[in-house]
Amino acid sequence: MSYLSNRVTFASLSPVHAVRRIAGIYYGWNVALVAFLSTGISVGMTGYAFGAFVEPLEEEFGWTRTQVNWGVALGFVSGVVAPIVGRIMDRFGARPVMVISLLIMALGFLLRSSVDNLWQFYLYSAIVYIGMPGATVMPAGRLVGLWFPKTRGRMMGIVTSGNNFGGLTIVPLAAVIIATSGWRWGFASLGLISAGLAVLVLVVVRERPVEEASEDGSASTSTEIPGVSGRVALHSLSFYLITVGITAGAFTYSVILSQMIPHLTSQGFSDEAAAAALTVTAAFGLTSKLFFGLLSEKITARIAFVLTLLIQATGVFLFIVAGGSQAVWAAVLVFGLGFGGMGALIPLTVAEAFGLRSFGTIMGFVSVAGIMPQLAGPLVAGYIFDQRGSYAIPFGIIVGMFIFGALALLAARRTPMSSLKPT
């Protein structure tokens, strides 16, 4: 196909788009790369790396594990603001939402570096989590769906593998900075990284024009993004069943990842070995995302999600029975396999069920349910640890939550495709 015959003219393209068009490079790959970095590094900073700050904060201020874990429990703020962020994204696109969100996160991390008392730590942590929804899965899901409609499963696996990249890079980086310069410089460094990501998003990210050529070279003629409205989704039983499944999976981020390092050190592992276990989890999860992303194109994202929850349940159970033995590494591998796939499958399951028309809004409402695991999970885990000196009971509860979530997803049904077609 001649570019002169394409309905998208060179005059309508940005200079970067025009160069890429001439060179034959699909611009969506640039967008995917930036979404990969934004999603992954943001998750790495807020989730994976939090455990590296727990003991330094306890040692300096004398805070209990429960008090420190309120810092990650305030992740419930993400659920509160997510519907608002989703509506804004549906109206104005992903780029402005990502830029502002990353800058808000940067501000929160920089302020965290200056805390002198507990209320400041909580306030600044809340600021970090205000920026979280608009920097991670919500814009990533929208951008992948728009730029790679025919291969969104595998591409979502690639983009969300950034989560594992974030774990692989941010955890050791934070650990080194904390060891050499202290936890304050650790938080400050994360803030600077987030600000740099905001600049990168501003320069690179674009919404895919509805009539621009697709990744396989064929022109798209649709003038509307397919999918149902948020109102239709909220009136379907599948929405609530899917939400239950996703909410169950969210305990992975609020409890398992944030408490893995403290759990392992309480079992006798060194700080270095505990950090290495978290890094291995991230590394193994990287391959898992790619596998489950591709698998979702074969067996649906919903069924693939069920598999990840059951695998995670097995991995967490192994953490419990392994205790302080070297068998914990088997738990790390099994858990990493299931956990890795989940990050890609959350947005894929929502998009598969309801389309992209109101993806941001629907994901926002789904995220509201994440308030429970974000708020209750770390607090209950920290309280039980303070009382019993072990994470066995909270980890056992989460095994049950994973199984319950898998059953809910099995009961859900996909929205009829006729309802997803643009009118």
pLDDT at position 120 is 92
Q: Is the dihedral of CA 334, 336, 342, 345 positive or negative?
A: negative
Which one-letter DSSP state was computed for residue 44? Answer: I
- pLDDT (tens, 9 = 90+) of the chain, 423 residues, equals 333 334 344 344 455 555 455 456 788 899 999 999 998 899 889 877 887 888 899 888 988 877 887 887 777 787 788 888 988 998 888 999 999 999 999 999 999 999 999 999 999 999 999 998 899 888 988 898 888 888 888 888 888 877 778 877 888 899 899 999 999 999 999 999 999 999 999 999 988 654 444 444 333 444 466 777 778 888 889 999 999 999 888 888 778 877 888 888 888 888 788 878 877 887 777 788 888 888 988 888 899 999 999 999 999 999 888 887 888 899 888 998 888 788 788 888 988 888 877 888 888 888 887 777 777 777 788 788 888 878 888 889 999 999 999 999 999 875 544 444 544
pLDDT at position 407 is 95
Compute CA distances 123 → 37, 60, 99, 332, 373, whole Å: 26, 19, 21, 33, 19
The answer to whether 362 and 52 have CB atoms below 8 angstroms apart is no
Topology annotation, domain 14-207+225-415: Growth Hormone; Chain: A; (1.20.1250)
Range list of β-strands (E), 15-128: none
pLDDT at position 388 is 80
How many CA atoms lie less than 13 Å away from 6 in the CB half-sphere?
22
pLDDT at position 111 is 95
CA distance 289 to 168: 14
pLDDT at position 347 is 86
Can you state the angle between helices 118-131 and 65-73, rounded to 10 degrees? 30
pLDDT at position 249 is 86
